Amino acid sequence: MSPVPVLVELYTSEGCSSCPPADAFLQTLDRQPVPGAEMIVLSEHVDYWNHIGWRDPFSSSFYSDRQNAYGRRFGLESVYTPQMVVDGAEEFVGSDHAAAEKAFAKEINTPKIAVRLSAIAIDATNALRVHVEVGPLPSSPGKSDPEIYVVVALNRAESHVARGENEGRTLTHAAVAESMTKVGVVQSMQGFSRDVELKVKAGLDPANLRLVAFVQEARQGRILGATAQPVK
């Protein structure tokens, strides 16, 4: 039986002193320690800690906005770091291993739709071309069409933090989201098949990149399927 894909999003910041244990936990999950699951991890660095002395070089307001959307959906009074979100369905403190194990056990038993990435290639202009396929969805009257996202992520990243709460520390990260692009929607009873072109930041080593694709219910709901592939 094939492992069930489980998407794990970690909202983190190099300016947050409580984040390194969660960053380390995500790196452990990236080594596939959960029987029956394919752990598809993403480190999404928020920018709202940047004002306290250290600008996280991997941070973006895009991920802060995405986390805020989860905060509204989960009914939180405010967002926080480190926060882990599993399959868009469960949220908890990112270093809470017990809460993570419960979430993983639940999501392993949740049916997922097939998502595939193929024909991945990057050219001299830093254009990354990939073919994205999503299996058909069951009919869901009254619901908006689920959205398809493709993420370009760094396999590994490292920083020596010169200021702020983690001053003097060298921090390492796994699967750091560099970009996240909505590439289409999946209509009920239909699949999705399309060639997609993404721009990759100049200077990045293709050997240190991976692609993550996932299908998410509209208005940032539950993750319906996900996959990850290296960039070759």
pLDDT tens-place string over residues 177-193: 999 999 999 987 788 99
Burial of 162 per CB tally in 10 Å (0-12, 13-18, 19+): exposed
User: How much is the pLDDT for 190?
Assistant: 81
pTM, full prediction = 0.96
How far apart (Å, rounded) are the C-alpha atoms in residues 163 and 160? Answer: 9
User: How much is the pLDDT for 142?
Assistant: 52
pLDDT tens-place string over residues 79-112: 999 999 999 999 999 999 999 999 999 999 999 9
Of 68, 66, 84, 71, the C-alpha closest to 28 is 84
pLDDT tens-place string over residues 48-88: 999 999 999 999 999 999 999 999 999 999 999 999 999 99
Superfamily of segment(s) 4-230: Immunoglobulins (2.60.40.10)
Q: What mean pLDDT is predicted for residues 118-146? A: 85
% of the chain with per-residue pLDDT over 70: 98
CB atoms under 10 Å from CB of 41, counted, come to 24
User: How much is the pLDDT for 133?
Assistant: 96
Sequence ranges of the domains in the chain: 4-230
User: How much is the pLDDT for 164?
Assistant: 94
- 139 pLDDT above the threshold of 70: no
User: How much is the pLDDT for 232?
Assistant: 76
Half-sphere exposure of residue 11: CA atoms within 13 angstroms, side-chain side: 27
Q: Is the dihedral of CA 137, 210, 157, 57 positive or negative?
A: negative
Give Cα separations from 52 to 16, 164, 169 (angstroms): 9, 6, 16
